[in-house]
Structure 1
Amino acid sequence: PVSIQPVFGAGVFPFGTHVYREPCLDLDAVVADLPLLKRYGFNMIKIQEHWSADEPREGEVDFSRIERLIQRADELGLGVYLGLTMEQAPAWLWRKYPDCHFVYADGRLHNQPTQYTIPMDGKPGPCWDHPGARAAAARFIGKLARRLGKYKNIWAWNTFQEIGFWPNTAGKLGFCYCPHTLARFREWLREKYGSLAALNATWQINYGDWEEVEPPRREEPLAPFIDWRYFMDDVYMARQLAFKTKALRENDPYQRPVFSHADTPRVGSGAEWRWARVGDFFGTSNYPKWNNGHAWDDPVESEAAALLNEIWEEMMLCTDLARGNNGRDRALWGAEFQGGPISTSLHYGRKPSPDDLRIWMLAGLAAGMTGISFWNHRVERFWKEANGFGLLEPIGDSSERMEAASRIGRAIQAQGEFFAQSQPPRAQVAILVNEDLYHFFQACNGDAIQHYRYNMRGLYARLWRLGIAVDFLDADEVAAGELRHYKAAILAMPLSLDGGWFQHLIDFARAGGMLIAEACAGRWDKYGWCTVAQLVEGGEACFGARHEDLVMVKTPGNRRRWMPHERRFGEFDPPTCLAGSGAYAGLQVLANFYLQTLSPTTAEPILYHGERVAAAINRLGAGYAVLLGSFLGFSALACRDADGDGDQFLEALLAAAGVEPDRCGALLLRRRQWQGKATWFFINPTAQAITRTIDKGGFSTVEDLLSGCLIAQTQCDFTLRVEGTDLACVLLA
């Protein structure tokens, strides 16, 4: 039985590479490379189509260049993943509809009519709320689907690669203030609130007519900002993906799957959940060498530490997030997978080694990828990204990284049906994502959104190195009851909460789960109004404690990192560790940013700041509710020398919920399963090689995916060696 949908190429693991986008300086050379890619074991190519190139004059459509590639791919037995670039609109559209530009809050037009795909694929493009621009785009997509859709080797359509409004200078307020979008916004508000009186009561404002309702234009920390950003990020963006998807489905004669993909997913944002669910599946970009760590992190001072960041963050965190966006039982592609050095104008990065590619690909598989498409087969030639990203150099038919990609790709395809159909088991722990909370931080003064994202990233890092896999769960999924599958749920930095939504978390704990909330849960409500109790509605009864006091605490050492400047000497408390009590006695936990103290009513103290309670656990029905007085994620990757026992405390807390780490000694373990078969991925986060004998867990046979790690096996166990900062994968049946 099929567990993952959709299926591509009769059930293969899609293994491809990008080959074409405009300006394409030598189409003959690209066509000549296709047999080479076939020999290297690729079964798919990626083609990026451009509206401005294929309809340079209104009504005159020419797909001949793309058709040439599709036809040759078909002759070679290669599937095609075809991406639309509708944001790169033709010049005639801007002339015909001069009012289809995005509009800034101050009335300026976002005007970038240049017809190049680089940079940023023409984003943000026209405002798709403009009826003329939208209709013209839909007509073009219909023609494209009818014309190119006749080729059966097209496997999937992509409506938007690296979804976003960027680049722009709109700041936090964002787009779009054109009359069409403002009318849509008011229409959406009418549906949400039902009456102007209800909107006025929520926003604490006094509009007399719906036509007066506007989003903020100068200030962000205002109640309307929460609805405005949700409308643009979640409603507008999903709607524009939907109209493209609809045009493809209505005109594709073979009804191929439609998807889109995000760039590096935004930790803490829920918008990607809305984007992903428009299509049949979802994807992500993975460029592990583009970023490495965060400015607040402790310095990365070794190759092993840099590579470890690529594994846990750039590959596994990003893919786990995309898997959460996507939902279970749906294909998940590494839709843009780094193939060569990062190149941005004069900044030329290091070429990935064969081991880099092997490690990245295994990490993507471990987190649930069911397809991989490299960016791209040869290095780029256009100015800003010149000589970057490709598996091959401009001249020559071989490279070490191409050979490595080929070898690993063939090994994956030898088990192609398994990797196309398997997925990681559901995790025991969920990290909760709340889009309104994300927008609350976005609106706060300064760059507070970085605090929210950094802390959540740190919580993931703690769990990752403990060997505790997590699923990211969106607020809508929580409301739909999906928390029933989990033993514990972590509510990260929940300063702004809706009391009605919080009731779902209370229900989860009463039913036997463990809710772990960080400091000041619901200090503000959803729309930024401070709560009298300094906790979310229902919070005092849930956590069995009342708010007592709040101070800000400095970071250890000489760096401010995430702390603002003190307004005066002594405004912030000095760095401090919280002391465990009861079952957590002997553990020390660093306080970060906020330190909230509590007055327990029914809860049991578990952390103290001197004689004051700084965390408590409360029995709630069949489960538990925990309120921590600070933020555990900040010091997961910063101030490590002063972090104390943060990891051990979190592990002990989750153990009380029945959560068990999945590790073999120092080796971290990730799993995929399907039809009685499994793959186990062993991750060595240390710098030294580890040899370990492991029980087969009831399986009969063990096979090394790539050869080299499996040393021996008996009827009951097997022995493998994993090099320092590396991954190994075995298949069990």
Structure 2
Amino acid sequence: MAPVPNVPHVIYGADYNPEQWPPEVWREDVALMQEAGVNLVSLGIFSWALLECAPGEFDFAWLDEVMDLLHAGGIGVNLATATASPPPWLATRYPDSRPVTVDGVRLEIGGRQAYCPSHQGFRDHVAALVRAVAQRYGTHPAVQLWHVNNEYGCHVDQCYCELCAGKFREWLRAKYSTLDALNAAWGTAFWSQHYGEWTQIQPPRRAPTYANPTQQLDWRRFSSDNILELYALETGILRDLTPDIPVTTNFLGFLPGLDYFTWAKHEDVASLDAYPDPHGAFPHLEAGMQFDLTRSLRRGQRWILMEEATSAVNWRAVNGPKPPGLARLLNHQALAHGANGIMYFQWRASRAGAEKYHSALVQHPGPQRSRVWREVVAFGEELRTLTPLLQASVPTRVGLVFDWNSWWALELDSKPARLPLMPLVQAWYAALRRLGQTVDFVHPASDLSGYDLLVMPNSYLLSGAAAANVRSYVQGGGHVVTGFFSGIVDEHEHVGLGGYPAALRDVLGVWVEEWVPLRPAETTPVRFAGQDAPVPATTWAEVVHLDGAEVLATFEDGYYGGGPAITRHAAGSGQTTYVATHLPEDALLHVLRGTLTDAGIPHATLPAFLDVTLSETPDGAVLHLLNADPTQSLHVTVPGATVMLDGSPVGTPVVLEPYGVRLVRVPAGFTVADLDIRTPDGT
């Protein structure tokens, strides 16, 4: 079922900001939307100042006209609550509604998202605006979806003002009940931090040295929950007044500040804003990670790509355009990874403002002079042939363990080394994709039973419940491969004693005595059993002791030389693999290839630029073949396949030109291991 019930086709559209243009342009816009195949637009996202020009003085006349024009043109509306950026009058009326940084600086108006999430005056005006919008447009036939706020936490995910300090104390009271429990959880015996009154507790503002780690961690949890209260305030009003219209808010992939696993439970459909860098080495991997995360947040439900760029953005140091063909390829990738809609920011490129150099469907030269417009129209026509994907599921056998709490904890200060999480996750994700695996991102405390293999690049923090869940998964027959510095602390950021990692020691069959962080350019040689030459590992090494595990590779240098670097252990009915260092790509592929084999999961080693995904539609399986290489073609033989998704015959081989896309119907039982992939010269 499509996540937006009244849209029986693949969604195609953009953010639409008609308030930036005179009314005569609106009619031209509707005609151009029809030409492009647009069927849904996000409307009113940054319109608060025009909808409510003064407190309580609403003017909906212009929006009424736009809504009616769009509906008459057959274009649905994803109507925003317009709360994403408060108008100047609100900050003038409530100066303390502006957010405060960790250094005590109160931010000024003139940008966007300049609000303190705890300010009651701001919340009251938000509620009044949402109620007014819902009452006016809740029965308008154009409205297909509510767009709540916009990109929560994009610019301000933490406010350190006194109002937030008070809300933090309320949150802590609800969590711990007593100061004795809080003091125990925070380890306040250290550095004379014992709290005798709730009023003594402050946010972790700038301090002479490291703030209490558990205080910092609870602050991140609180800040995510506090902003979630704003979302719940708006959605509560919308669901009360318009229970049949689904609600969403646009996520930002791996945004550090908000725990999206918690947030996604409150959405009717997940949506994503994704802006992979066209200048990056592998934009399709950057995008694919975000696509897979968004599908995973609601356990496989199809989702909406709410924003992307048609070409260049405006906010990087160098804003490279998407070369011809890349936008189409990434759109197909989103559909292959579970999207039901493709939307852009924005419809018409602005003449003024901070985003005037951000690309759009209608570029500054106008539609007839723009290759972007030609690509947009062509893809709109192509989407009409892809309706079968609306009902497709994306089967996965591999789960990649991810938890915002662990991310926050890992990157707190006062650690053995600075260890950013995302480069580790990206490396392991890229290796799994190279091996032909579709990947779900899973919370360690969630139901893991549907996966044959779990990979944990790093799970520094594992709550007691999460650790027990992972151990139960292994003992029940699951396979786990985990990276270094995992399972070290519990939910309070307290270290498990008796040898690292205390949370997983039994199922890993090893214990770690000591960590050896490496300098930025330093390598340490690791030799795999049966291989002649060692591989240069980076970042981290450990003094590992066996407790039942077998050795797959050893360190060769340093006082830890000769000790285990990679181990494998049978635990219960399952198996674990432990990787005590950061491996180069080929070595990581070798390790993961072995774990996939042990778990009985078919795999193949794909070219780095080939994205392969399998969808299950009611009419059978569809293989999505995407060549993200901008210069080289690929020839792919798909055994047993005879027709494409559109019914045309399958070539032998299937030719994928640079940025080429093919959707092939494949027979039952097909796996990625059946593919034969070659370059045009036969290699």
**Cα distance per residue 1:655-685 (max 9 Å; x no partner):** 1122222678995520122213332111346
Distance 1:348 1:177, change over 3 A: closer
Task: Tell me if structure 1 keeps the 8 A contact 2:186–2:212.
Answer: no
Corresponding letter in the other structure for 1:216: P
For residues 129 and 534 of structure 1, the distance between their equivalents in structure 2, rounded to whole angstroms, comes to: 42
Residue equivalent to 2:310: 339
Query: What SS does the corresponding residue of 1:215 show, helix, strand or coil?
Result: coil
TM-score (norm 2): 0.88
Residue equivalent to 2:483: 518
Most deviating of 136-145 and 389-398: 389-398
User: 2:371 matched to 1:388?
Assistant: no
User: 2:149 matched to 1:181?
Assistant: no
Query: What SS does the corresponding residue of 2:57 show, helix, strand or coil?
Result: coil
For residues 383 and 406 of structure 2, the distance between their equivalents in structure 1, rounded to whole angstroms, comes to: 40
Distance 1:460 1:209, change over 3 A: same
Query: What SS does the corresponding residue of 2:67 show, helix, strand or coil?
Result: helix
**Cα distance per residue 1:137-182 (max 9 Å; x no partner):** 1011101111122311111111132221515xxxxxx632334333
User: 2:394 matched to 1:444?
Assistant: no
Residue equivalent to 1:144: 133
1:33 offset after TM fit, Å?
1.7
Task: Tell me if structure 1 keeps the 8 A contact 2:401–2:459.
Answer: no
Most deviating of 240-249 and 587-596: 587-596
**Cα distance per residue 1:614-662 (max 9 Å; x no partner):** 2221111100122221134xx44xxxxxxx5331222112211222226
Residue equivalent to 1:580: 528
1:264 offset after TM fit, Å?
4.4
User: 2:220 matched to 1:216?
Assistant: no
1:725 offset after TM fit, Å?
5.2
Corresponding letter in the other structure for 1:479: A
Residue equivalent to 2:580: 629
1:670-689 alignment to 2 at 5 Å? 670-684=613-627, 688-689=632-633
User: 2:83 matched to 1:86?
Assistant: yes
Distance 1:377 1:248, change over 3 A: same
**Cα distance per residue 1:543-602 (max 9 Å; x no partner):** 1122244323346xxxx3xxxxxxxxxxxxx52231222xx7568554221111311121
Query: What SS does the corresponding residue of 2:393 show, helix, strand or coil?
Result: coil
1:62 offset after TM fit, Å?
0.8
User: 2:11 matched to 1:20?
Assistant: no
TM-score (norm 1): 0.82
Task: Tell me if structure 1 keeps the 8 A contact 2:458–2:483.
Answer: yes
Q: 2:640 aligns with which of 696, 714, 724?
A: 696
Query: What SS does the corresponding residue of 1:691 show, helix, strand or coil?
Result: strand
User: 2:233 matched to 1:243?
Assistant: yes
For residues 256 and 449 of structure 1, the distance between their equivalents in structure 2, rounded to whole angstroms, comes to: 45
Most deviating of 128-137 and 529-538: 529-538
**Cα distance per residue 1:81-136 (max 9 Å; x no partner):** 12233132133322333332223345442332x3xxxx5xx21x322322222122
RMSD: 2.8
1:367 offset after TM fit, Å?
1.5
Distance 1:175 1:341, change over 3 A: closer
% identical aligned pairs: 22
1:731 offset after TM fit, Å?
4.6
For residues 664 and 702 of structure 1, the distance between their equivalents in structure 2, rounded to whole angstroms, comes to: 23
Residue equivalent to 1:166: 155
Task: Tell me if structure 2 keeps the 8 A contact 1:354–1:405.
Answer: no
Corresponding letter in the other structure for 1:28: E
Question: Any unmatched runs of 5+ in structure 1?
Answer: 168-173, 294-305, 561-573, 637-643, 713-717
1:228 offset after TM fit, Å?
0.8
**Cα distance per residue 1:212-248 (max 9 Å; x no partner):** 2333222445221111111102x11221111111122
Corresponding letter in the other structure for 1:696: G
For residues 18 and 328 of structure 1, the distance between their equivalents in structure 2, rounded to whole angstroms, comes to: 25
For residues 158 and 75 of structure 1, the distance between their equivalents in structure 2, rounded to whole angstroms, comes to: 21
For residues 521 and 286 of structure 1, the distance between their equivalents in structure 2, rounded to whole angstroms, comes to: 29
Query: What SS does the corresponding residue of 1:456 show, helix, strand or coil?
Result: helix
Residue equivalent to 1:721: 655
Distance 1:664 1:443, change over 3 A: closer
For residues 402 and 172 of structure 2, the distance between their equivalents in structure 1, rounded to whole angstroms, comes to: 23
Task: Tell me if structure 1 keeps the 8 A contact 2:474–2:573.
Answer: yes
1:506 offset after TM fit, Å?
0.6
Q: 1:288 aligns with which of 262, 273, 276?
A: 276
Query: What SS does the corresponding residue of 2:325 show, helix, strand or coil?
Result: helix
Query: What SS does the corresponding residue of 2:390 show, helix, strand or coil?
Result: helix
1:323 offset after TM fit, Å?
1.7
Corresponding letter in the other structure for 1:605: V
Residue equivalent to 1:129: 118
1:598-677 alignment to 2 at 5 Å? 598-610=544-556, 611-632=562-583, 635-636=584-585, 644-661=586-603, 668-677=611-620
1:487 offset after TM fit, Å?
1.1
Task: Tell me if structure 1 keeps the 8 A contact 2:476–2:573.
Answer: yes
Distance 1:214 1:104, change over 3 A: same
For residues 512 and 195 of structure 1, the distance between their equivalents in structure 2, rounded to whole angstroms, comes to: 41
Residue equivalent to 2:107: 110
1:605 offset after TM fit, Å?
1.1
1:524 offset after TM fit, Å?
4.1
Aligned length: 650
1:453 offset after TM fit, Å?
1.1
Query: What SS does the corresponding residue of 1:245 show, helix, strand or coil?
Result: helix
Corresponding letter in the other structure for 2:524: T
1:721 offset after TM fit, Å?
0.9
Task: Tell me if structure 1 keeps the 8 A contact 2:614–2:623.
Answer: yes
Distance 1:147 1:448, change over 3 A: farther
1:724 offset after TM fit, Å?
4.0
Task: Tell me if structure 1 keeps the 8 A contact 2:540–2:580.
Answer: yes
Residue equivalent to 2:401: 432
User: 2:292 matched to 1:327?
Assistant: no
For residues 241 and 410 of structure 2, the distance between their equivalents in structure 1, rounded to whole angstroms, comes to: 42
For residues 216 and 655 of structure 1, the distance between their equivalents in structure 2, rounded to whole angstroms, comes to: 47
Distance 1:41 1:472, change over 3 A: same
Query: What SS does the corresponding residue of 1:391 show, helix, strand or coil?
Result: coil
Task: Tell me if structure 1 keeps the 8 A contact 2:81–2:133.
Answer: no
Corresponding letter in the other structure for 2:637: T
Residue equivalent to 1:40: 36
For residues 90 and 447 of structure 1, the distance between their equivalents in structure 2, rounded to whole angstroms, comes to: 45
Q: 1:453 aligns with which of 422, 425, 428?
A: 422
1:255-334 alignment to 2 at 5 Å? 255-266=244-255, 271-289=259-277, 292-293=279-280, 306=281, 309-313=282-286, 315-329=287-301, 331-334=302-305
For residues 449 and 359 of structure 1, the distance between their equivalents in structure 2, rounded to whole angstroms, comes to: 36
Corresponding letter in the other structure for 2:526: L
1:479-498 alignment to 2 at 5 Å? 479-480=445-446, 482-498=447-463
1:486 offset after TM fit, Å?
0.6
For residues 13 and 599 of structure 1, the distance between their equivalents in structure 2, rounded to whole angstroms, comes to: 54
User: 2:349 matched to 1:379?
Assistant: yes
**Cα distance per residue 1:308-343 (max 9 Å; x no partner):** x12221x212211222224322x4111012123323
